[in-house]
């Protein structure tokens, strides 16, 4: 019998696992470069090397594909922030957070662009995640940063905007890759740009957050 994918509660077939994997991989490619509305099922099917109805056998709608993809990617995407450790040394925590985010921009640029597209277009599919789990995680880590500042371990600053700054500067190398490479030119567009970026950003944030000698650190 032909059961719609969603109705099958039993164990998944080997073929199912493989094909769903294949489809999500292709979907990541397509959604990341064209956004949800700009992507077509045919495109994804072609990248995945299968026919459109076949693809729709595994995910019944374009929306279901997108949602499955987001769910799968979102959790891991927040790993670096989750590892941010209240007990650790502030400077090295921030430094390694930057490095890890930059590694993700280098190694998983499609994932970064998937979210960038989604948020840029008003986050119609993940607004709940933003205001729920994401906000809670950021609130928690912002509190950690604030306590560091209060303890005099780093300069006083708005922890939310600090997190935004780390997000934006690092993800820039994934999301705006074409621009970065266009501006740097052919010869500086090798993988070395991530090393240069890491060096610069660590300098910027570490010095920028260093406690100021002589008390007040207002600008």
Partner DNA sequence: GTAATGTTTTACCAACCGGTCAAATTATCA
Partner DNA sequence: TGATAATTTGACCGGTTGGTAAAACATTAC
Beta strands in the chain (DSSP E): none
- C-beta closer to a copy of itself: residue 20 or 98: 98
What mask of x and - would describe binding to a copy of itself in positions 32 to 61, judged by CB under 8 A?
-xxxxxx-----------------------
- C-beta closer to a copy of itself: residue 132 or 147: 132
- The set of residues, in sequence order, having a beta carbon less than 8 Å from that of 132 and lying 6+ positions away, is none
Are 102 and 80 in contact by the 8 Å Cβ rule? The answer is no
43 backbone dihedrals φ, ψ, rounded to 5°:
-60, -50
- C-beta closer to a copy of itself: residue 103 or 217: 217
Which pair of tokens denotes residue 12? Answer: 């998944």
From DNA, a copy of itself, none, which one binds at residue 16 (CB under 5 to 8 Å depending on kind)?
DNA
Are 202 and 95 in contact by the 8 Å Cβ rule? The answer is yes
What's the min distance (Å) between Cβ of 42 and DNA? 5
- The set of residues, in sequence order, having a beta carbon less than 8 Å from that of 123 and lying 6+ positions away, is 130
What's the min distance (Å) between Cβ of 15 and DNA? 4
- Say whether residue 7 binds DNA (CB under 7 A): no
- C-beta closer to DNA: residue 48 or 105: 48
- Of 20, 93, 111, 175, the one binding a copy of itself by CB under 8 A: 175
């Amino acid at each position: 019998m032909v059961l719609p994918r969603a109705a099958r509660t039993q164990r998944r077939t080997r073929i199912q696992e493989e094909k769903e994997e294949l489809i999500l991989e292709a979907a990541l490619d397509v959604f990341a470069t064209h956004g949800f509305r700009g992507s077509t099922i045919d495109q994804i099917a072609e990248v995945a090397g299968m026919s459109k109805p076949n693809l729709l056998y595994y995910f019944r709608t374009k929306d279901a594909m997108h949602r499955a993809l987001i769910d799968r990617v979102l959790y891991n995407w927040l790993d670096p922030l989750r590892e941010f450790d209240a007990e650790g040394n502030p400077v090295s925590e921030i430094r390694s957070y930057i490095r890890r985010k930059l590694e993700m921009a280098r190694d998983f640029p499609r994932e970064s662009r998937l979210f960038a597209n989604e948020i840029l277009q008003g986050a119609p599919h993940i607004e709940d995640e933003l205001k729920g789990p994401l906000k809670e995680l950021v609130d928690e880590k912002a509190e950690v940063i604030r306590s560091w500042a209060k303890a005099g371990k780093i300069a006083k600053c708005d922890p939310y905007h600090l997190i935004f700054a780390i997000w934006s500067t690092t993800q820039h190398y994934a999301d705006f890759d074409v621009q970065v490479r266009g501006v740097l030119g052919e010869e500086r567009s090798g993988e070395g740009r991530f090393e240069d970026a890491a060096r610069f950003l660590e300098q910027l944030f570490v010095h920028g957050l260093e406690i100021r000698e002589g008390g007040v650190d207002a600008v």
